[in-house]
Amino acid sequence: MQPPVAASRDISFVIISHNDASRLPGALNSAALMAAQAGMDWEIWVVDNGSRDQTAKLLEAYSRVLGPRLCVLTLGRNYGTTMPRNLALRQARGRFVCIMDSDAELLQNGLAGVLGFLNDFPQVGIAAPCILTPNGHVYNSVKMLPTLSDKLRKLPGIMGGGPKRNTDWYPDFPFERPRPVHTAISCCWFFRRELFDLVGPLDERIFYSPEDVDWCLRCWKAGRAVMYYPYLRVMHHTRQITHKRPLSRLSISHMRGIIYYLLKHRYCFDRDHVSARHIDALARELAPRLAAWEVPA
């Protein structure tokens, strides 16, 4: 096992991109701008995941402007989400890490707030911001642990193009204050660098998804909470490829990932049992302090 990387910057942004040159500037610009406005020492790691568009030329242009603050790793083909992120996370030098999708944009200067929140709550592992869709709606970015029943109930709607039965959604979402959640999508996560050393790398046996669900549950099992943090907003230009093409190779890979995840964590239908064992006690312990916590002025 490699020794932990010594932190030498305030924050590292980790972005993977595959044929997304049109959206990548939004992620790069917002990360650099928000970190600079917050007075942070920052770096951005971009993993070019086998792109065949203009991504390479785009990153060359940004490298000339950002210099050593931009670190580019180029892969010869698309390796999914887990291995590329792990490559960057192992080398990231920030005390804090922000994982971002290439189609995500930080919308306001709230970095100091979310990092202060992590400092105030050492038992919080992941802070997941409020995710907005391009039409301004709050995206349902946090969910309860998935079960096989949840996935089977969604199939008719996905295959038929109709409404889906989302039984893994929180009925009272969106939340107005920070609160523990079972899982949060990884289009934007904030966490301390030490969490990666504690929980371990993303599971590379999962190509695309649900690597974020798996890491969230592993985070809870390691005694660190996953938290929804509504005071920082992020625009996500999501394409939802697996919903639009349910029989694509990516969709099939996602379904295999779900089955692998459920077998790995040894549950299929009963999320309450998993929650009672790994989540509920820590969530209850954090509740009084969360109720009293206020965003620093």
Quick one: which of 128, 150, 186, 184 has its CA closest to 262?
A: 150
Could you tell me the pLDDT band of residue 181, with boundaries at 50, 70 and 90? very high
Specify the CATH superfamily of domain 9-292: Spore Coat Polysaccharide Biosynthesis Protein SpsA; Chain A (3.90.550.10)
Summarize pLDDT for 17-67 with one digit per residue, the tens: 999 999 999 999 999 999 999 999 999 999 999 999 999 999 999 999 999
Omega within 30 of 0 (cis) for the link into 146: no
Bridge partners of 143, per DSSP, are 169, 183
> What's the confidence (pLDDT) of residue 30?
97
Summarize pLDDT for 118-145 with one digit per residue, the tens: 999 999 999 999 999 999 999 999 999 9
Tell me the three state secondary structure of residue 38: coil
User: Cβ(158)–Cβ(243) under 8 Å?
Assistant: yes
Domain boundaries, the chain: 9-292
Burial class (CB in 10 A: 0-12, 13-18, 19+), 91: middle
Who's near 81: CB < 8 A, 6+ residues apart? 16, 186, 202, 206, 207, 208, 209, 211
pTM of the model: 0.92
Distance CA 295, CA 297 (A): 6
Burial class (CB in 10 A: 0-12, 13-18, 19+), 3: exposed
